[in-house]
Amino acid sequence: MSHANAALTPRARLRLAQLVVDRGWTHAAAAKMFMVAPRTAKKWADRYRNEGPAGMVDRSSRPKTSPTRTSPEVVRQIVRLRWRHRLGPVQIAGRLGMQASTVHAVLVRCRINRLSRIDRVTGEPLRRYEHPYPGSLIHVDVTKFGNIPDGGGWRYVGRTQGRHNAEATARRTGERGKRYRPLIGTAYVHTVIDDHSRLAYAEICTDERAATAIGVMQRAVAWFADHGVSVERVLSDNGSAYKSHAWRDACAELGITPKRTRPYRPQTNSKIERFHRTLADGWAYARFYESTEQRNTALPTWLHFYNHHRAHSAIGGRPPITRLNNVPGHHS
């Protein structure tokens, strides 16, 4: 592709060179016809004589040698400090005794100039992916939240009042743990999120067994179908529920291909891990709840807000529902 400011395209260059070489025009006459300098006409004519039509294409403007270019050894030192210690250009330049602008140029060239592009655990550049259409892949997982005692939990009422509330709840329910400690229980939130649209589905359950996970997936697939999304694959971690034969058989009945992440590599399932953080900030710990039932009642409303109204930074600041096509009830 020609430079944006180029006076001649490869096709025009060929025509100019053919006038000079094949038809005997002078450089000045050919240059006048194409409104360029005679020196330019001579350049393309000489290249046409030596290389033929292939010589009319653009060439790289990179110099053959760059004596002042940062050496590969220094580049490796800069990258090592960036990955292992997550240092900025100024700190790296101070350690290596060079200009911060040079360090920044190296980081940009290596595409690690932003720390958000580097994995916090491994230090490797992030490898982001997104499936091309809704339903191509859904992510499933379970996140846990402690139940809320009557009167509120310690996060809002303080640890002393929180212990009193837990004791009162245990006396009402009769649930006790080791050493007669009040047992409030745990809410297992089974979550499902579409990889392309980020549309989310969630249910609050009392356990994370295979039968429970299968039931959630079946209802989630039906829910996605109501929104015009046909699920093809499901990605999970290596939890016992997702490694079971019952999970495999349930996926086969639904016509879904089950996939699992690499062991000890939750980054592969990062979309749903990030959704869990959003779920905690936006729903579980967003405000004061006087009981677990009050918090559970608020989940459907928050999910509707997340799917239909909340701007999602990963999809251009739009809510997930906007990435679906032909959503029932949205078109006449």
Q: What pLDDT, on a 0 to 100 scale, did the predictor assign at position 185?
A: 79
Cβ neighbour number for residue 29 with a 10 Å cutoff: 13
- Cα pseudo-dihedral 241, 245, 251, 257, rounded to 10: 100
Q: How far apart are the first and last CA of the chain?
A: 44
For residue 94, pLDDT beyond 80:
yes
Taking residues 224-228, report their average pLDDT. Answer: 93
The pLDDT value given to residue 332: 41
Classify residue 199 by burial, with Cβ atoms within 10 Å: 0-12, 13-18, 19+: buried
pLDDT average, residue stretch 154-174: 80
Q: Any idea which residue has 């892949």 for tokens?
A: 137
Average pLDDT over residues 76-97: 89
Mean pLDDT on 302-313 = 92
In this model, does residue 115 exceed pLDDT 90? no
Give the rounded percent of residues in the chain with a pLDDT score beyond 70: 92
For the purposes of burial, counting CB atoms within 10 Å of the CB of 16, is it exposed (0-12), middle (13-18) or buried (19 or more)? Answer: buried
Q: Phi/psi zone of residue 264: left (φ > 0), alpha (ψ -120 to 50 degrees), beta? A: left
Specify the 3-state DSSP secondary structure of 85.
helix
| Signed CA dihedral, 93, 94, 95, 98: sign only | positive
pLDDT of residue 164: 81
Q: Does residue 121 carry a pLDDT above 60?
A: no
- Give 153 or 137, the one with higher predicted confidence: 137
Q: pLDDT class for 161, splitting at 50, 70, 90?
A: confident
328 has pLDDT over 70: no
Compute the average pLDDT of residues 155-163. Answer: 82
3-state secondary structure 20-57: HHCCCCCHHHHHHHHCCCHHHHHHHHHHHHHHHHHHHC
What count of residues does the chain have?
332
Confidence of residue 325 (pLDDT cuts 50, 70, 90): confident
Q: How confident is the model at residue 2 (pLDDT cuts 50, 70, 90)?
A: low
Q: What is the mean pLDDT of residues 110-118?
A: 75
Structure tokens at 159: 């640890």
* Alpha-helix residue ranges (DSSP H) falling in the chain: 10-21, 27-34, 38-51, 72-85, 89-96, 100-109, 154-157, 159-173, 210-226, 240-243, 245-254, 270-279, 292-308
Q: Contact, 227 vs 328, CB < 8 A?
A: yes
Model confidence at 326: pLDDT above 70: no
pLDDT score recorded for residue 175: 76
* Res. 1: pLDDT tops 80: no
pLDDT of residue 165: 81
Tell me the CA distances in angstroms from 187 to 95, 238, 243, 277, 303, one per residue in order. Answer: 49, 20, 22, 16, 17
Superfamily, domain 138-147+185-323: Ribonuclease H-like superfamily/Ribonuclease H (3.30.420.10)
Q: What is the pLDDT, as a whole number, of residue 331?
A: 46
Q: Model confidence over 263-293: pLDDT tens digits? A: 877 778 889 999 999 999 999 998 899 888 9
- 212 touches 205 (CB < 8 A): yes
Per-residue DSSP letter, 61: -
How far, in Å, are 2, 14, 21, 92, 280 from residue 18 at the CA level?
A: 19, 6, 5, 55, 71
Best-predicted range by mean pLDDT (50-64, 207-221, 309-323)? 207-221
Query: Which helix (H) or strand (E) is 137 found in, with range?
Result: none
pLDDT of residue 243: 93
Give the strands of the sheet with 186-194, arranged side by side. 200-205, 186-194, 138-146, 233-236, 257-260
Count the neighbouring beta carbons within 10 Å of the beta carbon of residue 37. Answer: 13
